[in-house]
Amino acid sequence: MHDQPNPILSVPLDLTRYSEKTRRALYDRIEFEHFKPDPQTVVQAIARGDFAEHRTAEEAGLRVEYLLGRWLVSWRVTDPIERPAERDLWELVTVTASPRGVLSMAEV
């Protein structure tokens, strides 16, 4: 996605418990991957007719929370459906890590 590797992405994280350091690291990783795409990636996505995020993490309301032993990440959707319920206004995912430290997100 990006031309330059980001050192934020290479640090392994302990997702088994809460710490502010882990919460901040998750926020930074998700911000980097989803809310700071390089311009070439945006152009390619638009050319394919795909969605390209144009908001900053702050504009999208990105939040990273630890609740009941899970890391939850949310942000406001760009184009909600017509007359949405509150739940349709937000993207909500859980974050897990493989034994090698590769993060994955799954929609809740």
Q: What is the pTM of this model?
A: 0.79
Neighbours of 79 (CB within 10 A): 7
Residues 78 and 55 sit within 8 Å (Cβ to Cβ): yes
Nearest to 72 by CA among 90, 88, 94, 87: 94
What phi and psi, each to the nearest 5 degrees, are found at residue 96? -130, 165
Q: For residue 7, what pLDDT is reported?
A: 45
From first to last of its 108 residues, the chain has per-residue pLDDT tens of 455 444 445 567 889 999 999 999 999 999 998 898 778 877 888 889 887 888 899 999 999 999 999 999 999 998 878 888 998 899 999 999 887 778 889 998
